[in-house]
């Protein structure tokens, strides 16, 4: 393993989105990880929010583990500056390795891939395949509609409140990230007061 204090898997878009707040959140998350001696585990791309969070982590002194399938190396422009860059054969390998290398998971704004990865680790948690905390960073209300829809599932009794309790949802990075890391039983180094 590594000498980092914690390893956070971040799912996010390979595009920047329309709101400047999305890029700012990705940058702040990366700075938070790196400035505390942490490790980012992510999809290995250098475009969009993926590239922003990776660059910010590296610039702040953190380790970055990128994991990308061969088929996406050109499409997502694999980030050659990662501390470790793993090129794998399939998406299944990518997601398994990302999950194995992480202490906790966080979804930032993104598209269908981000949704799928978030729902998969949440599903794995409810099935007992792992006991790692799962977070959703609701930047600029991006996930408001999703959370409304998910609560409909609870109201219609396709889900239970305990399943909702398996995820941590928040819009404040300074609160959500320490909560995830502490829930994982890891202690970030307090190199800076706050971001």
Concatenated DSSP letters for 48-59?
Answer: HHHHHHHHHHHH
Residue 190 has pLDDT above 60, yes or no: no
Read off the pLDDT band of 186 (50, 70, 90): confident
Cα–Cα nearest to 142, from 166, 98, 108: 108
What is the spatial distance between Cα 137 and Cα 147, in angstroms, rounded to a whole number? 12
Q: What is the mean pLDDT of residues 58-78?
A: 91
Read out DSSP for 162-192? Answer: HHHTTEEEES-HHHHHHHHHHHTT-----SS
CB 67 within 8 A of CB 86: yes
Query: So what's the pLDDT on residue 188?
Result: 57
Dump pLDDT digits (tens) for 85-143: 999 999 999 999 999 999 999 999 999 999 999 999 999 999 999 999 999 999 999 99
With cut-offs at 50, 70 and 90, classify the pLDDT of residue 76: low
- Considering only CA atoms, which of 84, 86, 14 is closest in space to residue 47? 14
% of the chain beyond a pLDDT of 70:
93
What does the pLDDT average to over 144-167?
A: 96
Between CA 114 and CA 14 the distance in angstroms is 9
Is residue 65 within a helix (H) or strand (E), and if so which, with residue range?
Answer: strand 63-69
Q: What is the pLDDT of residues 134-152, one digit of tens each?
A: 999 999 999 999 999 999 9
CATH 3.50.50.60, applies to 7-183: no
State mean pLDDT over 38-51: 96
Give percent above pLDDT 90 in the chain: 88
Are the C-beta atoms of residues 175 and 137 closer than 8 Å to each other?
no
pLDDT confidence bin for 193, thresholds 50/70/90 = very low
**Would the pTM of this model clear 0.75, i.e. be above it?**
yes
Judged by DSSP in three states, 67 sits in: strand
In the structure, what pLDDT confidence band is assigned to residue 75 with cuts at 50, 70 and 90? Answer: confident
Contacts of 131 (CB under 8 A, 6+ apart): 125
- Return the percent helix, strand and coil in the chain, to nearest 5: 45, 20, 35
pLDDT (0 to 100) of residue 187: 59
């Amino acid at each position: 393993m590594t000498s980092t204090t914690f390893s956070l898997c971040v799912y996010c878009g390979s595009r920047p989105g329309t709101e400047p707040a999305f890029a700012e959140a990705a940058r702040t998350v990366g700075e938070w990880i790196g400035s505390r001696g942490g490790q980012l585990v992510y999809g290995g791309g250098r475009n969009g929010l993926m590239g922003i969070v990776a660059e910010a982590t590296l610039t702040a002194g953190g380790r970055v583990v990128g994991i990308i399938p061969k088929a996406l190396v050109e499409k997502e422009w694999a980030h050659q500056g990662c501390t470790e860059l793993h090129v794998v054969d399939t998406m299944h390998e990518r997601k398994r390795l990302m999950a194995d290398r992480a202490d906790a998971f966080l979804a930032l704004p993104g598209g269908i891939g981000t949704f799928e990865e978030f729902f998969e680790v949440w599903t794995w948690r409810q099935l007992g395949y792992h006991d790692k905390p799962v977070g959703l960073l609701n930047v600029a209300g991006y996930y408001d509609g999703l959370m409304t829809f998910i609560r409909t599932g609870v109201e219609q009794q396709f889900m239970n409140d305990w399943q909702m309790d398996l995820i941590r949802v928040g819009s404040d990075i300074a609160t959500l990230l320490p909560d995830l890391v502490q829930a994982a039983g890891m202690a970030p180094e307090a190199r800076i007061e706050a971001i």
